[in-house]
Structure 1
Amino acid sequence: MVRPLLLLTAALTMSTALQAQQMQRQLGDFELKFSTRSSRSMAQGLITPSATGAFHGGLDVSHASGWYVGQYAPSMGLSPASTLRLDSYMGYKRRFHDSLGLEAGLIHYSQPNLAGNDSYAVYGGVSVLGSRFGGAWRDNPDNRTGTLFANLGQVPLLGLDLTVKLAHHQLGTPYTIGDGSQVDTFNDWTLQLSRPWQGIDLDLIYSSSDLQGGGCAAYSGVNTYCEGMLTLKAQRSFF
């Protein structure tokens, strides 16, 4: 059942803040980016590292051949309520011409201060004639996740970009809900329509899963909410 909620989020970005967040240098065939925010969206938009703590940042190094490596810390663990997290990655991204490109890579998620919390993800994506497709598999003992992503580009007549994401989750330990039944697998999905309007990027996002009622207590997927949610997001950069 879709909950009758419509969220409006406005994100206003100033150029001075962006300059403070990222430093970029070109050294021969290498490009270096040091940033307090994630500087890379991987696998054609399938995986985007996100900050979870008050202090975060990372270094990304890419070569003209298409190879790249980097490390991003979603949380530096500097506050008493947080712990150090590191996302280390390597991959290859190449655009052969305007109608074809590809990307593939590996990410290692770790919390150096905690034993037994490491996990890995492999990802790959391809762009063809303005459409983008990707897939990823994350081996996390608590929740093994396979994800498919498709950005179909602009829908004819409507002038909207259509993006679909579908994920399958397998819990490492089945979750027992109130009626005694167990949840060991579930699916969730996201459908997004996007278009620019007078300098503002507008996104209409519907997300949901196949868990309902008490089963939502077991939910730990890619969406914010277990049951149906409709979100309107508006974002504009002044510079």
Structure 2
Amino acid sequence: MPNLSWLAFFVAAFTTGAATAQTLLQRDLGGFDMTLGTTQTRTMAQGLVKPSNGAVNGGLDFTHDTGLYFGQWTANSGSSADNLSIEMDTYAGYKHRFASSGYGYEFGLINYDHVTQDVDPSREIYSGVSIFGSRFGAAFANNPDRSNTSLYADLGTTPVLGMGLSMRYGNYMLNSPVTLASGDMVRSYNDWSVNLTRKWADTQFNFSYTGTSLRGQDCSSYSGHNAYCDNALLLRASHPLF
């Protein structure tokens, strides 16, 4: 029986609709829709891949009527002017949906450049399909210290549960194995998550289960998608004020 850390969190996130849309400029430039803003306007691979977030964000996105898109997103996660941590994400891709067929596809490439750190850039190739309300995505990232493979599935609202269901799986291969205090070495690991959502009485409920293949002291080498290395159950609720 695997060790299970039961972590229950109930977070009331009260936000207004106006606070979520920070578009500073929007123009039509020769068939391209240009958007400049401080809130991300795009996710790639049907929601699997998205630019980084930080304390200060800004980006420029160009989308053509044919489905071609490209842009750049900059995020600063530093806490002060003396502690800058700026990441610049440059992306390009193509997205198409067949009219009235319920089917669409997408593919592209994103480059992550750590401007203020002496770290080589990393790149991620992604693709996704949408089929009758369900979305599936896959991505492969080549980082300076490891390679990542991610799979994503959003099945929409399931008829049996009456809840939104999405799942994510990741595999991480380390370029240099991590040596633990016990002498054991960690060369690769996996993580996963299952997320359920449902709206009730104007409140959005989000229930998720996350886990990894690492246990105990092995968790010192974990740096995946999940907030915790050990298995965890999370509950979150959000309700708008207006």
State yes or no: 1:60 paired with 2:74.
Answer: no
Q: Partner of 2:219 in structure 1?
A: 216
Equivalent residue for 1:91, pick from 72, 84, 93: 93
Spell out the pairing of 1:25-174 with structure 2 (5 A cutoff): 25-27=26-28, 29-52=31-54, 54-75=55-76, 79-98=81-100, 99-174=102-177
What is the one-letter code of the residue matched to 1:80?
Answer: D
Cα distance in 2 for partners of 1:136, 1:177 equals 29
| Unaligned residue ranges in structure 2 (runs of 5+) | none
Q: Point out the structure with the larger strand share.
A: 1
Note the C-alpha offset of 1:76: 7.4
Deviations 1:122-160 (CA, angstroms, capped at 9, x unpaired) = 000000111111100000021210001111222222211
Q: Give the 3-state SS of the residue equivalent to 1:17 in structure 2.
A: helix
What is the one-letter code of the residue matched to 1:192?
Answer: N
Equivalent residue for 1:15, pick from 14, 17, 25: 17
Cα distance in 1 for partners of 2:142, 2:176 equals 14
Mapped contact 1:59–1:72 kept (Cα < 8 A): yes
Cα distance in 1 for partners of 2:203, 2:31 equals 35
Q: Give the 3-state SS of the residue equivalent to 2:6 in structure 1.
A: strand
The change in CA–CA distance for 1:155 and 1:25 in structure 2 (over 3 A counts) is same
What is the one-letter code of the residue matched to 1:224?
Answer: A
Deviations 1:154-210 (CA, angstroms, capped at 9, x unpaired) = 222221111110000011211111211100100000100112222222211111100
Higher mean Cα deviation, 56-65 or 108-117? 108-117
- Normalising by structure 1, we get a TM-score of 0.92
Cα distance in 2 for partners of 1:81, 1:189 equals 32
Cα distance in 1 for partners of 2:230, 2:57 equals 30
| Unaligned residue ranges in structure 1 (runs of 5+) | none
Identity %: 37
State yes or no: 1:232 paired with 2:235.
Answer: yes
Q: Give the 3-state SS of the residue equivalent to 1:216 in structure 2.
A: helix
What is the one-letter code of the residue matched to 1:112?
Answer: V
Higher mean Cα deviation, 220-229 or 4-13? 4-13
* RMSD after superposition: 1.8
Note the C-alpha offset of 1:236: 3.4
Mapped contact 1:24–1:31 kept (Cα < 8 A): no
The change in CA–CA distance for 1:238 and 1:97 in structure 2 (over 3 A counts) is farther
State yes or no: 1:186 paired with 2:189.
Answer: yes
Higher mean Cα deviation, 135-144 or 10-19? 10-19
Note the C-alpha offset of 1:24: 4.7
Higher mean Cα deviation, 145-154 or 206-215? 145-154
